[in-house]
Amino acid sequence: MSIIVQKFGGTSVANAECIKKVAAKIIQSKERGHQVVATVSAQAGMTDRLIGLAKEITLEPDPRELDQLVSTGEQMSIALVCMTLHAMGHSAISMTGGQVGIVTDSVHTKARIQNIKTDAIRSELDKGQIVVVAGFQGMDEEGHVTTLGRGASDVTAVALAAALDAELCEIYTDVDGIYTADPRVVPDATKLDAVSHDEILELASVGAKVLQSRSVEVAKKFHVPVCVRSTFTERPGTVICSRVKGFEDVPVCGAALSRKESRITIAGLPDSPGVAARVVGAIGDRHINIDMIVQSFPLKTRADISFLVRDTDLSQALRVCEELKDELGAESVLPEGEIARVSAVGRGMVDRKGIAARMCSALGAKGINIKMITTSEINISVVVDAEHGEETLRTVHECFGLHKLPPATPATDVPADLRLSELDPMEGLHVQMVELDADQAELKVVDLADKPGEAGRLLGALAEAGINLDIVLQNSCSSGISVTVKRSDVERARAAIGSMAEPIAPQPVQVGDGIAKVSVSGVGLRSHAGAASTVFGVLAREGINIEMIGTSEVKISVIVPEADGERAAAELRKELALDN
Ligand code: ADP
Ligand code: ASP
Ligand code: MG
């Protein structure tokens, strides 16, 4: 008999009425002949309430005790769902993460699943029971209760489906699928019938709350069929698959807003190899994720490094940065809140010209000032003042015509990357390849005017000249914009900037020395803080300077001096035990 895993989020179990609807969905699947494992979240608001209780006592609760506390939210829900199933005439048994055998590491409040023992669930299923599992929690090897991070009942569901080799994992929520943007912020967002792993992985990682990004990592690695749909309607939902048919001409298929981020700048760092590695490594060691890492062009011998960090990690990250400041002899650590990050995501932006220009120009036309830009192969992100976050998201959505995308269907699936037995621990980092591209040149434009529209004007001039940009980075306006282009495009790019009707900057464009791009691809490269630390660490050990960085969940790219490219790629392959 085939197994179906169904996950119900906090709003789906918010009260007795909702829980009855959940029970009805579960029973429907059982009556269709499936064995059903349901996993549920805490009731909406409950996890926040429990965290609030802890914070009334201390602002920095002990992480083990915090896990012990917040895991009770899910424990309430499983019992209530089982009682409802019993009342509706079905046999069901609830299990906590520990009772199931969801074994995690010991990183309290953001633990990762190592493996799942399936014997207990299977034996209950074989007795005809519906099994209801608490989401978001597990137990480490020493028997301590752990939780997996906010929103991570999704991870529980997909990991259970992988471990049980389920036919389908259904994520039931309060919207009827994955939209091109959060429908609460963008009323004309379109529901996607299908979306690829890479795109939803990236969207989830940059703020689309509808799925926890780690759940997509697990789905991609183990090829778990996942569908996101509504608890409250019968509509078909969104299928997550390896590739989508119908989006061949679509550069961007979704946009996301992340409000809960702050920027930290460590200013006045010595400009020497190994400094960026030390910063990224020290933060990664504390399991803190950072992103949009931008180094400014060094003024004489001093450089700044800026990055974004989630608000929940801010105080810990600041403590680490203060230590780094003293250790490395930096001048200051500058935190900046009240910012928002907006990202456009699409596999189709690879090799298409003018995508970043289109986005920046649209924001310029609305008078929205861009404080920071970074790009990777499948993502363009900008930082704006928090008050402009929602308008920025709507503008980006509109400029890529996301309200009228063509229909998409899942393409024939490619085989799974891995069999479960091949990746231990289950949520471990999966690195696939190191690539070297030596055909790159770096252009820098410094001292841009600090007013809306300047980035769009510069990128627009390059797009009009038919020049494809690879990585685009901007920190503050005074530090300017850096782009990488193909070597053969350098002169045309220089000419295009030089002949702009209104000059973009007081100084001519600077063309850097020869550079090479080294990229590491895999799954979950951003969510595993250790991945960037490893890449940076290897380059530091080799004394190789990192000039630019582009990160996404599926790729970390670093720009290094041309002469070091081969060695950087070779050392990374060695470190990551890859033979490609
Ligand atoms: P659950 O409690 O079921 O896990 P969440 O609140 O975590 O639900 O996620 C569902 C919410 O995600 C939706 O109500 C919606 O506002 C938000 N959301 C953000 N981005 C998207 C998107 N691209 N598509 C659909 N919903 C989104
Ligand atoms: N209850 C947890 C949270 O609110 C997990 C989840 O809902 O997925 O973050
Ligand atoms: Mg959720």
**pLDDT on residue 422:** 61
Per-residue pLDDT at 490 exceeds 80: yes
Task: Quote the tokens at residue 17.
Answer: 């009425």
Mean pLDDT of the chain: 92
Cβ–Cβ < 8 Å for 36, 69: no
Q: What is the mean pLDDT of residues 375-398?
A: 96
Counting from 1 in the atom list of ligand 1, the atom nearest the Cα of 171 is 3
**pLDDT on residue 333:** 96
pLDDT in tens, 347-367: 999 878 899 999 999 999 999
Which band of pLDDT confidence, cut at 50, 70 and 90, is reported for residue 417? Answer: low
Cβ–Cβ < 8 Å for 508, 474: no
pLDDT in tens, 262-312: 999 999 998 777 888 899 999 999 999 999 998 876 666 788 899 999 999
**pLDDT on residue 197:** 94
**pLDDT on residue 419:** 56
Q: What is the mean pLDDT of residues 487-515?
A: 88
**pLDDT on residue 451:** 83
**pLDDT on residue 551:** 87
Per-residue pLDDT at 416 exceeds 60: no
Ligand 2 pocket, residue 151 CB under 6 Å = yes
| Cα(315)–Cα(46) distance, integer angstroms | 24
**pLDDT on residue 303:** 83
- Residue 192 has φ and ψ, to the nearest 5°, of -90, 130
3-state secondary structure 297-312: CCECCEEEEEEEEEHH
* Other CB atoms within 10 Å distance of the CB of residue 389: 22
Residues pairing with 299 in the sheet: 302
Ligand 2 pocket, residue 153 CB under 6 Å = yes
Per-residue pLDDT at 477 exceeds 60: no
Distance 184 CA to ligand 1 centre (A): 9
**pLDDT on residue 513:** 77
Per-residue pLDDT at 181 exceeds 90: yes
Ligand 1 pocket, residue 41 CB under 6 Å = yes
- Contacts (Cβ under 8 Å, ≥6 apart) of 178: 191, 192, 195, 200, 203, 208, 210, 211, 228, 238, 240, 254
**pLDDT on residue 273:** 78
Distance 209 CA to ligand 1 centre (A): 5
Ligand 1 pocket, residue 182 CB under 6 Å = yes
Q: What is the mean pLDDT of residues 156-174?
A: 97
**pLDDT on residue 289:** 92
Per-residue pLDDT at 496 exceeds 70: yes
Q: Which of 7, 67, 96, 153 to mutate to test the pocket of ligand 2 (most atoms within 8 A of CB)?
A: 153
Ligand 1 pocket, residue 196 CB under 6 Å = no
Helix, coil or strand: residue 294: strand
Ligand 1 pocket, residue 181 CB under 6 Å = yes
Helix, coil or strand: residue 487: helix
Q: What is the mean pLDDT of residues 106-112?
A: 96
Cβ–Cβ < 8 Å for 502, 523: no
pLDDT in tens, 419-437: 555 667 999 989 999 999 9
In order, the DSSP letters of 134-186 are: ETTEEEETTS-EEE--TTTHHHHHHHHHHHTT-SEEEEEESSSS-BSS-TTT-
Ligand 2 pocket, residue 136 CB under 6 Å = yes
Distance 391 CA to ligand 1 centre (A): 19
What is the torsion angle, in degrees rounded to the nearest 10, for the CA atoms of residue 541, residue 335, residue 554 and residue 386? -170
Distance 154 CA to ligand 3 centre (A): 7
Predicted structure pTM score: 0.95
- Which of the residue ranges 118-122, 454-458, 499-503 has the most confident prediction, judged by mean pLDDT? 118-122
Which band of pLDDT confidence, cut at 50, 70 and 90, is reported for residue 93? Answer: very high
Per-residue pLDDT at 561 exceeds 80: yes
Which residue has the CA at smallest separation from atom 6 of ligand 2?
151
Q: What is the mean pLDDT of residues 540-565?
A: 90
| Cα(166)–Cα(490) distance, integer angstroms | 52
Helix, coil or strand: residue 71: helix
Per-residue pLDDT at 474 exceeds 60: yes
- Pairing mode, strands 481-486 and 430-445: antiparallel
Helix, coil or strand: residue 336: strand
Ligand 2 pocket, residue 47 CB under 6 Å = yes
Ligand 1 pocket, residue 73 CB under 6 Å = no
- Is the CA virtual torsion 347, 343, 46, 139 positive or negative? positive
Task: Quote the tokens at residue 96.
Answer: 């906590």
3-state secondary structure 438-461: EEEEEEEECCCCCCCCHHHHHHHH
Q: What is the mean pLDDT of residues 32-59?
A: 97
Q: Which of 46, 69, 136 to mutate to test the pocket of ligand 2 (most atoms within 8 A of CB)?
A: 136
Per-residue pLDDT at 101 exceeds 90: yes
Least confident of 299-308, 383-392, 461-470, 532-541: 299-308
**pLDDT on residue 309:** 95
- What angle, 0 to 180 degrees and rounded to 10, lies between the N-to-C axes of helices 63-87 and 16-31? 70
Which band of pLDDT confidence, cut at 50, 70 and 90, is reported for residue 411? Answer: confident
Ligand 2 pocket, residue 135 CB under 6 Å = yes
Distance 71 CA to ligand 2 centre (A): 9
Q: Which helix (H) or strand (E) holds 67?
A: helix 63-87
| Cα(284)–Cα(574) distance, integer angstroms | 21
Ligand 2 pocket, residue 173 CB under 6 Å = no
* Other CB atoms within 10 Å distance of the CB of residue 155: 31
Ligand 1 pocket, residue 10 CB under 6 Å = yes
Which band of pLDDT confidence, cut at 50, 70 and 90, is reported for residue 339? Answer: very high
- Pairing mode, strands 102-104 and 113-116: antiparallel
Ligand 2 pocket, residue 41 CB under 6 Å = yes
For the chain, first and last CA: distance in Å?
41
Distance 9 CA to ligand 2 centre (A): 8
**pLDDT on residue 564:** 94
- What angle, 0 to 180 degrees and rounded to 10, lies between the N-to-C axes of helices 46-57 and 63-87? 150
Based on its alpha-carbon atoms, the radius of gyration of the chain, rounded to whole angstroms, reads 24
Q: Which of 210, 240, 403 to mutate to test the pocket of ligand 1 (most atoms within 8 A of CB)?
A: 210
Long-range Cβ pairs for the range 184-192 (8 Å, 24+):
185/257, 185/390, 185/393, 185/394, 186/255, 186/393, 186/394, 186/397, 188/397, 188/403, 189/397, 189/402, 189/403, 190/402, 190/403, 190/404, 190/405, 191/238, 192/238, 192/253, 192/254, 192/405, 192/408
Ligand nearest to C-alpha 7: 1
| Cα(376)–Cα(552) distance, integer angstroms | 6
**pLDDT on residue 415:** 57
**pLDDT on residue 478:** 60
More confident call, 533 vs 145: 145
Which residue has the CA at smallest separation from atom 9 of ligand 2?
150
Distance 400 CA to ligand 3 centre (A): 26
Which band of pLDDT confidence, cut at 50, 70 and 90, is reported for residue 479? Answer: low
Q: Which helix (H) or strand (E) holds 410?
A: strand 409-410
Counting from 1 in the atom list of ligand 2, the atom nearest the Cα of 10 is 7
Least confident of 249-253, 381-385, 408-412: 408-412
**pLDDT on residue 476:** 66
Least confident of 131-135, 186-190, 247-251: 247-251
Long-range Cβ pairs for the range 488-496 (8 Å, 24+):
488/439, 489/441, 490/441, 490/443, 492/465, 492/466, 492/467, 493/443, 493/462, 493/465, 493/467, 494/443, 495/465, 496/461, 496/462, 496/464, 496/465, 496/467
Residue closest to 560 by CA, chosen among 394, 438, 409:
438
Which residue has the CA at smallest separation from atom 21 of ligand 1?
182
Q: What is the mean pLDDT of residues 318-343?
A: 95
Ligand nearest to C-alpha 212: 3
pLDDT in tens, 311-325: 999 999 999 999 999
Per-residue pLDDT at 514 exceeds 90: no
